[in-house]
Amino acid sequence: MSDKAYLLCLRTVDTYYSMIVPGSTKSNCSACGNSVYISPESLKVKEDRGALVLCMQCSVEYIRTARDEDPLEAFVFTQGQVEEAKKMRETKHENIQRN
Binding site for Zn ion (CB under 5 A): 29, 31-32, 55, 58
CB 56 to Zn ion: min, Å? 8
Residue 8 or 55 with smaller CB distance to Zn ion: 55
CB of 18 to Zn ion, least distance (A): 22
E-assigned strand segments in the chain: 6-9, 25-28, 35-38, 52-55
Name the residue nearer to Zn ion (CB basis): 28 or 80.
28
Can you tell me the distance from the alpha carbon of 49 to that of 66, in angstroms, rounded to the nearest whole number?
21
Helix (H, G, I), strand (E, B) or coil at 28: strand
